Each structure stands twice: as structure tokens, then as C-alpha cells.
Structure 1
Amino acid sequence: MKTPPLHITLVSETFPPEINGVATTLGRLREGLCLRGHRVEVIRPRQSGDTTGLADPDLLLTRGWPVPGYPGLQWGQVSMHKLLRRWRRRRPDVLYIATQGPLGLSALRAARRLGIAIVSGFHTNFPQYAGQYGLGLLARALTGYLRAFHRRTATTLAPSASQRLDLQRRGFERLGVLARGVDATLFNPARRSQALRDSWGLRPDDIAVLHVGRLAVEKNLSLLAPCLHALQRAYPQRRLRMVLVGDGPQRQGLEQQLPDAVFCGVQRAETLAEHYASGDLFLFPSLSETFGNVVLEAMASGLAVVAFDEAAAAQHLQHGHNGALALPGDSAGFIDAACWLLEENETLRRVRLNARHHALHQGWAAIVEQFEGHLAEACSRPSPLAPPIKAYPMADKPN
């Protein structure tokens, strides 16, 4: 049965045109909901170059300040009272809160005061990131805060079954799963460009070992150099080159570890798709993802993906069929999996074809329909009872 049109508010500290998995996902969800006839309001921090906002009744831009160590990302700031005034004038049917910073907390508190249904998403594993940066006490505090935050929403949507299980073990309640999709028209092997490969110094039969993503410590990128060197030792007759797409605080260190690699910086849209399609082998060594959209993008582009058996890789890769998997944390197994893919040309060709075939069935339309169902179901439930959460510092300062 078709869901009646809803007035939906998306609350997030990141949104397109910013480049990260959360922004990409929210952009696709918003687009899909609008196509299905829903009214979608977005509340987010103002981005550099923003010229919209005042004239758009479905967009509220808030103040923001940089997240330390993450240039280009912001915490949002808006007063709860501003949201109360806005939503009393034009009340949404349901909120989706994608980030749990001060902006998300203000939205949570305002919506609960007004009795508006709330669905939340677990998009980023900040406690795990804090642990990897050596901030164990902060990681425990963040877990407690997030557990309290999500306990006050009708449903918390995790991106994978494995992530849902992890949250259950940490005491989170009322969990659902909302996977991710991929645009297999944009990310397509047909975009392969020999001219681009020429600029990388690669002939048609050479191997471009690709990585796409933020160059940050939590991505476990220290595994890239030993993996490449092992491939070069195992196949000295083959010409291999590491190509990294993206930027971040680890770039300088990676340039020292991989002096012959090609660093392409941040790429977008069709140019990004061309970079994917011009690769051959995709290394994804991260152990901190809640999902990992780049796995599906690489598969749709016809790449053979090597990853650890969790998050998106666990959901979409079948070892030996459409990719290669290693047990989480088994660096030697990861390197062995990469080496196996290059043992025979037929193995690499078959895995790449199977990866593309799988990705063709992972479109966004079905994901948006599932999301719509979660939102509609939340509208029919009473808000869960829970005491108020102590606010972030500055979360309720007027702006």
C-alpha cells in the first residue's frame, strides 16, 4: 500500500555537495523521497559558498564550527527554541536525525517536546574512531551518550546486520537495518579511460591498484604499502601502480610510504566514476566503517575488491566469487587475498564481471522505499519515554 505524502525533516551536520558516505546517502534518500511525493525539509550547517537558504522554505541553514582534525566537516549549532518556533508554525510528521552532535541534540529535544516522531541513523562510529586515536575514555563516554540519544527515538537505523548486532551488544534498543545502494549508471566500467591510465603511467595490461576515500588514520591505510609491496614481489613481471583518490591528514605520510603512487586528490561525480572504472584492483583496508559506500561504487565500476569481512564487504562480497575477503584484523590474510586475485588473468576477469553483475541489483529505489516504510511506521508509534539528555556545551545558545 502506498504511503501517504509525509512532511519529513532531515537533520544532519553533513550534506551534499560535501563528499563523504553520510552526505552521499542523505542526498540519495532526499532525492528518492521527493520523487515519491514527500515534502523533505533539510536542516544542516551553512557550507562555504552557500547562496541558498533564506529563499528556500524547506532548508534551514545553521551556524557551524570545524570538527578538529576533519577539515571540511562541521558541528552544527541551532537553538532548540528556534526549532520549536519553526515547527509550531509548520509541523513535520517525522524527523530523521543522521548525526548526533549539538544540532542533532537540539532537534531531538525540540521534537520530543512537540511530540513529533523521530527516527535516527547510526552512520558514523565515532566511539571506535576515538579509540583508534588513543582516546579510550572519550570512546566510552561517547558510547554512553549515543546510547542515551538513540534510546529517545522510535527506531535507530544501522546500515548493516553486523552493525546492528554490534549496537545490540552495546545496549542499543529498537534497531532496524537500512542498507545503502549504488548508482550503477554513474559508476560503470564503460567509463574506463586509457587517457587517464596513461597519465598514471599505465599501459592497457598494467594493473592500477586503487583506493578511494578519506586519507585518515581510522581508515587503516598503513596496510596499503605492505600490500602493494607484496604484490610487486609476487608478480615482478607485472607493472602495478597504487592510485589514491581522496585527501586527508594522512596524505603526507602516505606519500612518504608510497613514493611512486599517484595521488589524485578529491574527485566528484563523472570524474570520480572515471577514476574508479580506470582501476583494476580495489583495496579497502578499513576496519572502522559502519557501511563503506565505496565498496559498492567499486563493484559497480567493475573492480575486484579486497576488504575485511565486515560492514558492506560482509554484506555484498562473496569470497572468490565477486571479491576477496579476509578476517577482520588479519593483515596477512588481506595481503594473501589481494595476491590471489592476480594469480591468473581469468580469476581477475571473472571476479570483476561478477562484482558488476551484483552491483546492478543494488539500486537506490528499493532502499528509499524501505526508508519510507521506517518513517511511516514511526509516525504511528508513541515516543519512547526517557529522561532528558544533558545538552552539549553551546547546543542551545541562540543564533
Structure 2
Amino acid sequence: MRVAIVSESFLPQVNGVTNSVCRVLEHLADHGHEAMVVAPGRSPSSYAGFPIRSTAAFRLPFYRSFRVGLPSRTIMSSLEEFRPDVVHLASPTVVGASGMTAAARLGVPAVAVFQTDLVGFARQYGMRGADSAIWSWLRHIHTRAARTLAPSSATMAELNAHGIPRLSLWGRGVDLERFNPAHRSESLRAEFAPNGEVVVGYVGRLAADKRVHLLAELADLPGIKLVVVGDGPAARSLRRRVPDAVFCGLRTGTELSQILASFDVFVHTGANETYCQAVQEALAAGVPVVAAAAGGPLDLVQPEHNGLLYPADSPGGMREAVARLASDGQARARMSGNARSSVLHRTWSSLCEQLVRHYETVLAEDFQASTQQSHEEPWAVRIPDPSEAPAGTV
């Protein structure tokens, strides 16, 4: 099979979209498929033996390390040259919209992978009036896709409520070797918490959309040491808010494996996660999780079993949940013992096999029927009735 992946981001940017695309490319390479990637910015020329085509991009003024792609003739010409059997749209927004148009012109089915909560992102940056426009744009893209894959049950329900058709659930895998309790380091723990404190850790981007300012709610909890891993535009202000925390900066590879496994409690502050890979990696490392009861964590965190959930709009609820686990060693140990087993079935191998089956299914379906609106005006999108969805989808 020949798969063209059009992604809103790729290396050297490290985020959930990039991580998923890399794992998919590795799986396609291991199983004898052909692939290529079109992505914004200055990406490497190849990955897993497949070519990468770069398109124009600009930096967000409030988030200089984040590049946003621009429409480009490179997308159409790259797909024409590659002649894919299926087009994979990774978190389609701007570059993905051009990829959708190119796929339709080539008569090739497109599988759109929904991954980023753009509405929640916009709200966190003060653009609260943009909800309607964003959903209209997302419908414009996704109603032309042969299938949209949602990462979690909460996201799937939200997409369905906003008129996105032909939905199926496709989660995210986790590397069970890289994220493993065996990487726990007592020497590293002693470095973080020399007085034997309970190590409470956060891993992720330090940005407003992750609500990392809420970590300040934990600053004065007795008997804990807060450890922050990651970087981003909110790093400087967060250092001022929690001056006694340990800031590790961006860490990857073996360093990240050891740091994460050495936490006693993992806390996640975001409330707009469509999946939340960081939560899943913490669970794989045997660390109980405290997360907001919203989005992807609802599928991952089982309260009282492998962690605790707090109301998404309650910073005090987050503080209370962390304080409870920090003071109750028996509860931590019980939840830690359950954490890894709760995600053992979520391997990248099994998830990528599911993805290939989605490719095969849309290729077998009547693509012409599913893209009959491709020549309508972009905003004149007809929202299909749910009863029109293929069997097995929403």
C-alpha cells in the first residue's frame, strides 16, 4: 500500500502529532508499505527510509517554537508524483485542508486523524469568540474525509455533536519498554528530593493551553517535591510561581524514561486533551496519575484504580487529589501496581495494525459516494444524518 501522510507538524517539533506520525511510519516500513510525508517547516529529508517534503510555515507570535503550515503547491505536486492509494491527514487544519483538496482531486480516499482540540487551544489564548468559525472549518475538512479517527470516546462524542460524520475510534499506542517501572532510579530520586519528599511530577509543554500555571496550587503542599519536565513559552512565568520546584527542561530518550519512572505521582493540568499521551506514558511507567476529568484522560484514568480525576474547572480539586496521594503511601502503592497493567493492551503495534485496517476499509468502500461534496463551495457543507454512517461507525 502507498500512503501519503500530510501532517500539521513533524520533526524537529516534538509533540503528540509528530510522535504518532513517526510511529505510523515505522510500522509502515516494518510491514513493507510505501510512504511519504508532507509537513511544514524545516523537517529532515527522510524518516524510516521514507521521503519528507517540507512546506512553508510561520511561527506563532505568542509561541515562537510552534510552526503553523501554509497552503502550498508542494502538497498537490508531491501527492501527484507519489500516487498514493490513501492519504493520511494528521491533525488536519491548514496544511491538512490542502491535503484533503489534493486527495479529492486525485480521487484518493483520505483518512483524517483528529488530534488537536483547536477550540480549547483558542480559548486558552483568549480567542473565545472563535468557536463557531473553528468548528465550521473543521467540518469543511472532515466531511470530505472517507473516515475521521477520534482518539478518545469524549472526543468522538464531541465530534459527533458538531456534525462530523463517519467517525471511528483510534487511540494511541505506548512504548512499554521505554516507559517502564524498571527505569526507576533511586539516585535520581535522591537528587530530586534529598529529604525524602514524595516526588510529584509534570511532563509536557509549558504553555498556556496546558494550564501549567495551576502547578502553583501545589507549591506549598507539605512533604512533596514538584519536578517539571518540558519547555515552552510559559516556562519563565512558571519558574517565578514555583521557585522551589525542580525544572529539568526538555528531556527525551533514556533520561525521560528514568525521570518519569522515578515519580511517585504524575499530575496533568491540561483540560483540552483529545488523548493525553503523557498520562498514558506515566501509567506505563507505573506511576499513578492525577488528571482533569475531561477529554482523553477519561479513557485512561480509572479513579481509585490507577489514579484520581478532579473536576476540570477546580484547581482546588487537583490540589486535594495530589495531597491525598502524597499522604497515603498505601493508596499510591496500590494504584502504582495497577497503573502499568491498565495500558498493556495499548501498544503501537496493535494500534498501527488497526490504522492499516482503516486504510484498507476506506479503499474497499465507494469513495466516490463519500466525497460527492468535493466540488461544492467550501462553506456549503451538508452535514449528513448519523443514520447515513457506515456500519460500525458513529
Quote the residue 1:58 is aligned against. 51
Single out whichever of 381-390 and 139-148 deviates more from structure 2: 381-390
Quote the residue 1:346 is aligned against. 330
Change over 3 Å in CA distance of 1:71–1:196 after alignment to 2: farther
The alpha-carbon deviation at position 37 of structure 1 amounts to: 2.3
Verify: 1:209 aligned to 2:200, yes or no.
yes
The alpha-carbon deviation at position 388 of structure 1 amounts to: 4.3
- 1:322-379 CA distances to partner (integer Å, 9 max, x unpaired)? 1111233233332222222233221111111110222333211111111111111111
Quote the residue 1:79 is aligned against. 72
Residue pair 1:53, 1:61 contacting (<8 A) in 2 also: no
- 1:308-329 CA distances to partner (integer Å, 9 max, x unpaired)? 2233321121111111112332
| One-letter amino acid of the counterpart of residue 218, structure 1 | D
Quote the residue 2:378 is aligned against. 389
The CA distance in 2 between the partners of 1:149 and 1:317, in whole Å, is 31
The alpha-carbon deviation at position 276 of structure 1 amounts to: 0.4
Quote the residue 1:324 is aligned against. 308
Aligned pairs for 1:34-183 (under 5 A) are: 34-47=29-42, 50=44, 52=45, 58-77=51-70, 79-80=72-73, 82-183=74-175
The alpha-carbon deviation at position 201 of structure 1 amounts to: 4.1
- 1:110-168 CA distances to partner (integer Å, 9 max, x unpaired)? 11111111011111111221122221233321121111111111111110011010111
Quote the residue 1:3 is aligned against. none
The CA distance in 2 between the partners of 1:388 and 1:248, in whole Å, is 39
Verify: 1:360 aligned to 2:344, yes or no.
yes
The CA distance in 2 between the partners of 1:350 and 1:280, in whole Å, is 12
Change over 3 Å in CA distance of 1:88–1:254 after alignment to 2: closer
- 1:186-232 CA distances to partner (integer Å, 9 max, x unpaired)? 011221223323332435x4211100001111112232121342x32
- 1:260-289 CA distances to partner (integer Å, 9 max, x unpaired)? 011111111111111101211111121011
Residue pair 1:111, 1:118 contacting (<8 A) in 2 also: yes
In the alignment, structure 2 segments of 5+ residues that lack a partner are: 380-394
Single out whichever of 166-175 and 333-342 deviates more from structure 2: 333-342
The CA distance in 1 between the partners of 2:232 and 2:80, in whole Å, is 41
Change over 3 Å in CA distance of 1:24–1:88 after alignment to 2: closer
Quote the residue 2:217 is aligned against. 226
Change over 3 Å in CA distance of 1:90–1:260 after alignment to 2: closer
The CA distance in 1 between the partners of 2:328 and 2:120, in whole Å, is 37
The CA distance in 2 between the partners of 1:221 and 1:46, in whole Å, is 27
Change over 3 Å in CA distance of 1:343–1:39 after alignment to 2: same
Residue pair 1:225, 1:257 contacting (<8 A) in 2 also: yes
* Two-structure CA RMSD over aligned residues (Å): 2.1
Identity %: 34
SS at match of 1:25: helix
Quote the residue 1:246 is aligned against. 230
| One-letter amino acid of the counterpart of residue 191, structure 1 | H
The alpha-carbon deviation at position 87 of structure 1 amounts to: 3.5
The CA distance in 2 between the partners of 1:357 and 1:17, in whole Å, is 32
**Bigger relative contact order, structure 1 or 2, given CA contacts below 8 A and separation 6+?**
1
Quote the residue 2:184 is aligned against. 192
Residue pair 1:11, 1:96 contacting (<8 A) in 2 also: yes
Residue pair 1:75, 1:101 contacting (<8 A) in 2 also: no
Residue pair 1:189, 1:300 contacting (<8 A) in 2 also: yes
Query: Of residues 15, 18, 36 in structure 2, which corresponds to 1:20?
Result: 15
| One-letter amino acid of the counterpart of residue 157, structure 2 | L
Quote the residue 1:393 is aligned against. none
The CA distance in 2 between the partners of 1:17 and 1:187, in whole Å, is 22
Change over 3 Å in CA distance of 1:228–1:93 after alignment to 2: same
The CA distance in 2 between the partners of 1:110 and 1:118, in whole Å, is 10
The CA distance in 2 between the partners of 1:133 and 1:84, in whole Å, is 32
Residue pair 2:56, 2:72 contacting (<8 A) in 1 also: no
Q: TM-score, normalised by structure 2?
A: 0.89
In the alignment, structure 1 segments of 5+ residues that lack a partner are: 1-5, 233-237, 391-399
Change over 3 Å in CA distance of 1:202–1:311 after alignment to 2: farther
The alpha-carbon deviation at position 17 of structure 1 amounts to: 4.2
Change over 3 Å in CA distance of 1:223–1:376 after alignment to 2: same
SS at match of 1:172: coil
SS at match of 1:66: strand
Query: Of residues 264, 276, 285 in structure 2, which corresponds to 1:280?
Result: 264
The CA distance in 1 between the partners of 2:371 and 2:292, in whole Å, is 36
SS at match of 1:87: helix
